[in-house]
Structure 1
Amino acid sequence: MSKVVTVIDTFGFFFRSFYALPQHLKTKDGFPTGLLTGFTNFISTLQKDHDSDYIIFAVDSKGDTFRNEIDENYKANRQAPPPELTMQLPVAIEWINKMGYKTLGLTGFEADDMIATVVKFAKDKGYKVRVVSHDKDLYQLIDDDNVTIVDAIKRKSVNEEACYEKYGVTPKQFIDYQSILGDSADNVPGVKGIGKVGAEKLLKEYGTLDNIYAHIDEIKGANQKKLIASKDQAYMSKQLVTLRDDAFDTLDFEEYKMDVENPFLNIYDELVQYEQNAILRTLHAKNMVSDEQKEKAVQKANEEIAEDHSAEEFKTTLITDKKTLDDVIAKLEELTIVAFDTETTGLDYENDKLVGFSFCFNEDEAYYVPFGHFYLGVGEQISEDDAKDAIKKIFNSLIVGHNIKFDLHFLNKFVGEELSVYSDSMILAWLINPEAALSLDKLSEKLLNHKMIAFKDTVKKGETFASVELEQACKYAAEDAYITFKLYNLFLQKLELQNADHLIDEADDIEIPFLQTLLKMEETGIAVDTAFLEKFLTEVQANIQTLTQEIYTLAGGEFNINSTKQLGVVLFETLGLPVGKKTKTGYSTDEKVLSSLKDSHEIIPKLLEYREVYKLYSTYIEPLLKLARESEDSRIHTSFVQTGTATGRLSSKNPNLQNIPTRTPLGAKIRQAFVAPKGKKLIGIDYSQIELRLLAHFSGDPVLVDAFNHNKDIHLQTAIVLFGEEEAAQKRGIAKTVNFGLLYGMGQKKLSDTLGITTKEAKAIIEKYFESFPTVKTYFRSIVDGSKEKGYIETLLRRRRYFDYENATPMFKAAYERESVNSVFQGSASDLIKLSMNKIIKTIEKENLGAKMLLQIHDELIFEVDEAVSDELGKKFQSIMEDIYKLNIPLKASLNIGDNWSQLK
């Protein structure tokens, strides 16, 4: 039986495990441990997953390699890895040797060349090789009988078939494939203008790079010109991507025997120091560690002092004269990345003002430009006119901000024109992990180990930023720009190292244009009928008063109805109603408790009605009326939160216009207050059953696909399958609940509560559904299995949501399974609506249409249009939404036109 060699692409593996594990893993002293945890997990499963005779850790050497002699630009653009990764690398390398394993590296060569040379020697001896890496550069080594690539994180092996399936070329063609394609990350030029599809097609037809150029006259069109123009680059690229298998002359495999027993005992002290608790529990459970060793290690760990790994020192420069400002701006070029931030007197762009701006375009210095500070003894500042000119010039470069939509509201108003931006570090942070805290200060502390200056420590209570002394303002403001610059570059690298660089394109092509779309919607606002709201307010106040008196009568006295504590005493002590549940502060009187007591006393229905009416009054009617009165044109401007949900759905705030209730007559009546001004109409276009259509698209279930392709009633079709033809019409509502419920992870308990049936009946319905739609069940299972294997799900446009199953309790694991399914559909629906909104806004501007996009309420868009063209534009926008993305089934959207929001259903 052939011997087996396992060779590790060491740094590649470390980078991969670092980004695969949660970034929040740290010791109590703040030292990051994600990479170390991934490494110890790997070593602990080494014998089980990589049962080998020999193990070699291939490493890169410091300094240039022979490839830099071929092209001095090779890997020149590679950014330094994030500090939390570089802090762990030397520890992990040291562990390899301490545990009894050996590294293999050689000056002038890369780890990949070490691996290629090991492979050659192993094949000469008839050994089999497993290369642990996710680097596609190593695919050229694959040989099904002898060499496979293993992704240790995904625990998958890549053979010739998997290589061909993924890239459309064989391992033997891979060098030529990369020679054409190039690699922007490593500065390998390739053939400019030919991508993956073109490279694959050329190699399928001609086999090799040499043969392509031998038949260059046969190749027609643009590809021929591109190949001729880039011939030198293609062959230079071939030299760069070809792995050397002659890095050394001999290799004694016996030096790398995989016979290390209990490797962790050799680094026990370090495991304690770096809080590798999972491995420590295993060692302790197997009684492999003495009490003396435990005590010594703990003492050593407690004596360790955490180093300060804050962001590098940087210079903050206050600019108060035009010449200095002009000189600095003159350094900016069209392709310069500039982090930009504003300081204002408050958060309301309608009424507050700009005070100054900060910017940063390198890691050494950040600038603050004041022009609106006002306090006794304030020094020289830039004039407003010079500030406007400077901002316009700076925005000719590539502008990056953190939540820059906020800044753009102030900036557009200040300079009198619409400015555009290149990227937003908050959006990139959200794409990396949509559930992480996204504020600049929290990201700085977590990722850069840098605690930022607090706003409350800069601006005195009751004052604004205009009152802050210039020098102190400069420190605070310039830091914002500097940290934004640092994070932006870090996030690009994180996305690339997570194999998620497609999300950089997602940001550029969709999310940043969407930011501009939302900006326009927020500035436009929606008109409100103030007189209607005032009348409605009076009616509701009278209703509340009547309900209050009725409740007092039924309770036998007056009390504060809005006080949970007082209400609990009245219900469960005075009236003696059965107690549902108690909290730390008294009796629970939440909606669920009150609903369960509905038939116990006539006060309960009155309380439920009071709560509904009071919530409408306090949460919607009164605040909306206040905002409408404050607006000169009676328009309300909500703020849309682009990064507020893990699935990608928008939320809105100040006020929240997405949660206005519609199920009750009073709730629905609020929508009558949102109106079209004279000469205008409101248009509502709502995607029909978008998530079920996505289910049909993704799963390919024949019943669902047939129903949507032939415009059948999907809920009726489901009812026919579940209950038969005779009962189908009667039980359509149940089928509808099941159809949507299962997308949201509804279990038998929730279904029984929703339908008012027993859990046994609910269980039987769910089982029948999955028996009848086996393709759907298989697809749901594939989502869950994929999320466990990869640690994330992807939406239609490949946005990701991560799930940390590894560290989850059983309850959270079950929740993750439900959410993984739900996230695919909600996230994909949000992808489609974003694409539609971006295209419609672009169409409105390009064709100068008499229309404005006002609101997005999940799957519905609301527009204000000129009355004379309302039908025409309604159909135009409906068509854009239905044709925005080619699914396996048609997208449908309903169109409604009216004078107020309530008429759009």
Structure 2
Amino acid sequence: MTPHAPTPAASDAAASKAVSPALLLIDGSSYLYRAFHAMPDLRADPADAQSQPTGAIRGMVNMLNSLRKDWPQATYAACVFDAPGPTFRDALFADYKANRSPMPDDLRRQIEPIHEVARLLGWPVLCVPGIEADDVIGTLAATAAAQGRQVLISSGDKDLAQLVTPRVVIIDTMSGKRRDEAGVRAEFGVSAAQMLDYQTLVGDAVDNVPGVEKVGPKTAAKWLAEYGSLDAIVAHAGQIKGAAGENLRRALAWLPTGRQLLKIRTDCDLSAHAPGLPALDALALKPPQTQELARFYQQYGFKTLARALEKESQTQSPSSPAAAPGLFDGVPDGASATDEPPAPHSAVQGRVRYATVQDWAAFDEWLQKISAAELTAIDTETTSLDEMAARLVGISLAVQPGEAAYIPLAHEGPDAPAQLPLDEVLARLKPWLQSASHKKLGQNIKYDRHVFANHGIDVAGYAHDTMLQSYVLEAHRPHGLQSLAERHLGRSGTSYEDLCGKGAHQIPFAQVPLDKAAHYACEDADQTMDVHRALWPRVQADAGLAATYALEIDTSEALFQTERHGVLIDAAELARQSQALGQRITQLENEAYALAGQPFNLGSPKQIGEIFFERLGLPVIKKTPGGKPSTDEEVLEKLAEDFPLPARILEHRGLAKLKSTYTDKLPHMVNPATGRVHTRYAQAVAVTGRLASSDPNLQNIPIRTPEGRRIRRAFIAPPGRLIMSADYSQIELRIMAHLSGDAALLAAFNAGQDVHRATAAEVFGVPPGQVTPEQRRYAKVINFGLIYGMGSFGLAKSLGIAPSAAKQWIDRYFERYPGVRRYMDETVQSARQRRYVQTLFGRRLYLPDINAASGPRRAAAERQAINAPMQGTAADLIKKAMIAVQAALAGRQSAIVMQVHDELVLEVPEAEAAWAREQVPRLMAGVAELKVPLLAEIGAGGNWEEAH
């Protein structure tokens, strides 16, 4: 095999080679909606939430620049938009597009600027009254094709597939999907010539055009394969059996109208509103109007675009298009225009050099490259998503955008390629992998660390993780590599499902043909490098974000150690608990049958509703959207206060979930190689910064019931060791005291008082020594409820009191703690201006709905604004604690085995127990200085339950 065999270029570049369009048509109406929904809520004045919205404008600018760079050979072009007002379809069918929501006001305000900037960028803009954009595109495409020219349509709209011919191809620049004749057949199962008939049968829900009832894509494709056309299907309608045939016959009178509505016209008269059309000379691409563009960019706050334009004008000829960031790139909601990223290099726009390394000469060349590189992106292809079990299939490397290599190591099958021996490759790579001075970059680096650890290699030098960069910049958005590449670079790539298939038909990566596997793997490493160059400057530019990112990188290392160690499980104890739970579940079922007067399915809402409301006459608490009495969890809890049957059902559900989720399942999750359970901690999930645990989920073990607490007994230490649990005390209340600066709260914590008792004394007006247990319980609910933005209705529900009484207590609370009220009001007001809040350490928590027109959505965002800084700061503190304790454990036998909410769980040799009792709480309390003392409490025992 030839070393460094090049793989195909990225999808857009490949399309460029396959199609050399004379005419490039942009479905502007489709893309402006997609840009609006894909981009953050950018504003011309970031400090003013009511100023001109600019997200869709920015997205369209990036897209138009990317298209022009990707297809420089296009001589003619048009950016086509729908014009306001009715068309012939509205006259044909009064309910045409009746289901569509009105255009959002923020998008409507961006339409004219989008038209303006498209013209300034040199694109002819078409917006023809009375003619839909699809029909304009169809007419221009047909005209150019008839002249023997190649046409490329850029659109995500599947309806345009009926225009595809050997000379007309459609590219969706957001997904990378290509619809030529082969692509249409592969996607829809019919030819492009059959697409109109296919659409007529299926209908179009978006435009409210009915098809044949219950005839979907598979049936439509099957009929067209059998009969050839809609006319032939109609002619044989009497022979088609079953419900589909009956529905077809009922739709016969409608189908001609449906076909007219869905047919894209290719013969429109455009000359009245666009002189010179359809002759292509009227659509000549023009050079950008640089001076006017600069003014436009400044007006709308696009400072990076303006700088790039100025730089381009100094280095390129006037006809060159302005440089710009990738497709739909942008800054987070509420970010300043000065936070815009510099224009990243996209490998799609340059030369791509992908290599497949299959001999030692090529390997040595790449080893030299990565040894000399300032930063190397590294990615693994493996046998499993389970990081403790995954084995290497191959390794990809990138040293700069557009330059990557794939080293196949364990591809298999009858056509398995020549490969270098895995063990020897790893032996030669090991010094570089374990070198802290050779900086490495990855996407979800914790996973790759586990994979290499499975082969005996402890990777050092991981400096960056693009998933975590995205997480600290935009926690509320997706962080997968494909999503990041599309959002920040305008790059689309091959998905794993495209490569390996889905479900039962999915093949292992090791069986993918090498040329495709190599391109996919190189693309991953390449895109990771490219995304890093787009995101890292934005992280660096803000001190708070940079600190948060550094915290996440260090947390990733600590979590890797915790996951790797795992926790020991007592399978015999779980078996005993499962048996006891099973007996109690059976008993509850029998009791429920007796109370109902008959057997029934305790998991069936329908049967429960019949017994509750028809047989037993229980009161209806609320109804479903369909008007039937509800039996949801909230209703059961309310009814359980007065009736025994709902109480039995609730207890049955809780115990059944415990049994299936934990006592039955945990023994099967023990890793046979280690004898331990290894949970997986996800960092980039919760917007507050809290960790998520899965396989098994250790965060959700219920502790409010004896049965739930008992499960913790099964998490044990081996002989000669202890389980120790260190937990922050009232952490969110302490954070509230610090953030609000309320004098009474600060005094209570600094004096070491029971803060709930102190609150009860303030609210109920009694001396602390006379506070009753009930009053303390009420004060505890108030304290924690207000942290979560609870109002009088929520408090009344929690305490079982009248809303008027709850309001009085909340008012009394704020009279005694005015600093808390001030903090809440100021936080919400700041959030409305910035559209995010921050933790004490600079983590940003975005609130897209804080200025929403919808009252409930806005109110929910306001509650989040109050709570998120406390939850997020608590999340930051436990991460800092984990890092500090992990560092102190170096050289010791003790290990962190779990992190659960505000708690660290350790496995400690008895010889180190005294040290841990003293030092772990001290380390946890010392990770930050607040206006009140941080307090961590520690307990020990043979199992997790005893440690509490």
What TM-score results when the alignment is normalised by the length of structure 2?
0.65
Partner of 2:623: 581
Q: CA deviation at 1:897?
A: 1.0
CA 1:713–1:480 in 2, change beyond 3 Å: closer, same or farther? Answer: same
Provide the C-alpha distance between the structure 2 equivalents of 1:693 and 1:719, rounded to a whole number of angstroms.
Answer: 17
Partner of 1:774: 818
Q: Is the 8 A contact 1:835 1:884 kept in 2?
A: yes
Mapping 1:752-901, distance limit 5 Å:
752-804=796-848, 805-807=850-852, 809-845=854-890, 848-901=891-944
- Could you tell which deviates more after superposition, 613-622 or 592-601? 592-601
Provide the C-alpha distance between the structure 2 equivalents of 1:84 and 1:316, rounded to a whole number of angstroms.
Answer: 30
Partner of 1:695: 736
Identity fraction in percent: 32
1:707 aligns with 2:751: no
Q: CA deviation at 1:869?
A: 2.2
- Could you tell which deviates more after superposition, 745-754 or 469-478? 469-478
Equivalent in 555, 569, 583 of residue 596 of structure 2: 555
Provide the C-alpha distance between the structure 1 equivalents of 2:401 and 2:375, rounded to a whole number of angstroms.
Answer: 11
Q: Is the 8 A contact 1:795 1:824 kept in 2?
A: yes
CA 1:366–1:586 in 2, change beyond 3 Å: closer, same or farther? Answer: farther
Q: CA deviation at 1:646?
A: 0.6
Q: CA deviation at 1:725?
A: 2.0
Q: Is the 8 A contact 1:356 1:370 kept in 2?
A: yes
Give the 3-state SS of the residue equivalent to 1:872 in structure 2: helix
Equivalent in 468, 479, 485 of residue 427 of structure 1: 468
Q: Is the 8 A contact 1:334 1:398 kept in 2?
A: no
CA 1:471–1:894 in 2, change beyond 3 Å: closer, same or farther? Answer: same
Q: CA deviation at 1:566?
A: 3.4
1:403 aligns with 2:408: no
Partner of 1:354: 392
Provide the C-alpha distance between the structure 2 equivalents of 1:300 and 1:526, rounded to a whole number of angstroms.
Answer: 63
Amino acid at match of 1:411: F
Q: Is the 8 A contact 1:388 1:415 kept in 2?
A: no
Q: CA deviation at 1:744?
A: 0.8
Amino acid at match of 1:677: P
Partner of 2:777: 733
CA 1:901–1:43 in 2, change beyond 3 Å: closer, same or farther? Answer: closer
CA 1:444–1:570 in 2, change beyond 3 Å: closer, same or farther? Answer: farther
Q: CA deviation at 1:554?
A: 3.2
Q: CA deviation at 1:765?
A: 0.8
Provide the C-alpha distance between the structure 2 equivalents of 1:532 and 1:874, rounded to a whole number of angstroms.
Answer: 27
Q: CA deviation at 1:686?
A: 0.8
Q: CA deviation at 1:719?
A: 1.3
Provide the C-alpha distance between the structure 2 equivalents of 1:792 and 1:43, rounded to a whole number of angstroms.
Answer: 13
Provide the C-alpha distance between the structure 1 equivalents of 2:38 and 2:477, rounded to a whole number of angstroms.
Answer: 18
Q: Is the 8 A contact 1:345 1:352 kept in 2?
A: yes
CA 1:891–1:334 in 2, change beyond 3 Å: closer, same or farther? Answer: farther
- Higher RCO, Cα 8 Å, sep 6+: 2
Q: CA deviation at 1:364?
A: 1.8
Per-residue Cα deviation, 1:91-131 (whole angstroms, up to 9, x for no partner): 9xxxxxxxxxxxxxxxxxxxxxxxxxxxxxxxxxxxxxxxx
Per-residue Cα deviation, 1:455-501 (whole angstroms, up to 9, x for no partner): 222225253212222112112211211121111111123435xx535
Partner of 1:385: 423
Q: CA deviation at 1:89?
A: 8.8
Provide the C-alpha distance between the structure 2 equivalents of 1:669 and 1:332, rounded to a whole number of angstroms.
Answer: 52
Give the 3-state SS of the residue equivalent to 1:361 in structure 2: strand
Give the 3-state SS of the residue equivalent to 2:870 in structure 1: helix
User: Gapped runs of 5+ residues in structure 2?
Assistant: 1-29, 53-57, 68-78, 86-102, 113-124, 138-152, 156-172, 174-325, 328-345
Q: Is the 8 A contact 1:882 1:890 kept in 2?
A: yes
Q: CA deviation at 1:892?
A: 0.8
Q: CA deviation at 1:577?
A: 3.4
- Could you tell which deviates more after superposition, 879-888 or 671-680? 879-888
Equivalent in 723, 727, 747 of residue 791 of structure 2: 747
- Could you tell which deviates more after superposition, 802-811 or 776-785? 802-811
CA 1:84–1:487 in 2, change beyond 3 Å: closer, same or farther? Answer: farther
Provide the C-alpha distance between the structure 2 equivalents of 1:494 and 1:421, rounded to a whole number of angstroms.
Answer: 19
Per-residue Cα deviation, 1:153-188 (whole angstroms, up to 9, x for no partner): xxxxxxxxxxxxxxxxxxxxxxxxxxxxxxxxxxxx
User: Gapped runs of 5+ residues in structure 1?
Assistant: 1-24, 49-81, 92-266, 285-292
Partner of 1:661: 702
Provide the C-alpha distance between the structure 1 equivalents of 2:422 and 2:531, rounded to a whole number of angstroms.
Answer: 30
CA 1:297–1:506 in 2, change beyond 3 Å: closer, same or farther? Answer: farther
Give the 3-state SS of the residue equivalent to 1:369 in structure 2: strand
CA 1:532–1:790 in 2, change beyond 3 Å: closer, same or farther? Answer: same
Provide the C-alpha distance between the structure 1 equivalents of 2:751 and 2:42, rounded to a whole number of angstroms.
Answer: 53
Give the 3-state SS of the residue equivalent to 1:661 in structure 2: coil
Q: CA deviation at 1:371?
A: 0.6
Provide the C-alpha distance between the structure 1 equivalents of 2:34 and 2:573, rounded to a whole number of angstroms.
Answer: 59
Q: CA deviation at 1:585?
A: 11
Equivalent in 432, 442, 457 of residue 416 of structure 1: 457
Q: CA deviation at 1:780?
A: 1.4
Q: CA deviation at 1:844?
A: 0.9
CA 1:429–1:325 in 2, change beyond 3 Å: closer, same or farther? Answer: same
CA 1:591–1:852 in 2, change beyond 3 Å: closer, same or farther? Answer: same
Q: Is the 8 A contact 2:724 2:905 kept in 1?
A: yes
Give the 3-state SS of the residue equivalent to 1:780 in structure 2: helix
Amino acid at match of 1:898: G
Per-residue Cα deviation, 1:248-267 (whole angstroms, up to 9, x for no partner): xxxxxxxxxxxxxxxxxxx9
Equivalent in 353, 373, 397 of residue 411 of structure 2: 373
Equivalent in 341, 358, 369 of residue 331 of structure 1: 369
CA 1:893–1:37 in 2, change beyond 3 Å: closer, same or farther? Answer: closer
Amino acid at match of 2:610: V
1:448 aligns with 2:489: yes
Partner of 2:644: 602
1:483 aligns with 2:527: yes
CA 1:394–1:563 in 2, change beyond 3 Å: closer, same or farther? Answer: farther
Q: Is the 8 A contact 1:26 1:34 kept in 2?
A: no
Q: Is the 8 A contact 2:353 2:403 kept in 1?
A: yes
Per-residue Cα deviation, 1:777-836 (whole angstroms, up to 9, x for no partner): 111111111111122111111010112334552222211111011111111111111111
Q: Is the 8 A contact 1:345 1:466 kept in 2?
A: yes
Provide the C-alpha distance between the structure 1 equivalents of 2:50 and 2:640, rounded to a whole number of angstroms.
Answer: 57
Partner of 1:525: 566
Q: CA deviation at 1:659?
A: 0.9
Provide the C-alpha distance between the structure 2 equivalents of 1:338 and 1:379, rounded to a whole number of angstroms.
Answer: 26
Amino acid at match of 2:549: A
Equivalent in 40, 43, 46 of residue 38 of structure 1: 43
Q: Is the 8 A contact 1:40 1:279 kept in 2?
A: no
Provide the C-alpha distance between the structure 2 equivalents of 1:563 and 1:44, rounded to a whole number of angstroms.
Answer: 48
CA 1:458–1:659 in 2, change beyond 3 Å: closer, same or farther? Answer: same
Q: CA deviation at 1:390?
A: 4.8
Provide the C-alpha distance between the structure 1 equivalents of 2:449 and 2:459, rounded to a whole number of angstroms.
Answer: 8
Provide the C-alpha distance between the structure 1 equivalents of 2:518 and 2:884, rounded to a whole number of angstroms.
Answer: 40
Per-residue Cα deviation, 1:687-726 (whole angstroms, up to 9, x for no partner): 1111111122222211111111121111111111111225
CA 1:268–1:547 in 2, change beyond 3 Å: closer, same or farther? Answer: closer
CA 1:391–1:276 in 2, change beyond 3 Å: closer, same or farther? Answer: farther
Provide the C-alpha distance between the structure 2 equivalents of 1:585 and 1:849, rounded to a whole number of angstroms.
Answer: 63
Partner of 1:58: none
Provide the C-alpha distance between the structure 1 equivalents of 2:562 and 2:130, rounded to a whole number of angstroms.
Answer: 58
Provide the C-alpha distance between the structure 2 equivalents of 1:281 and 1:374, rounded to a whole number of angstroms.
Answer: 56
Partner of 1:536: 577
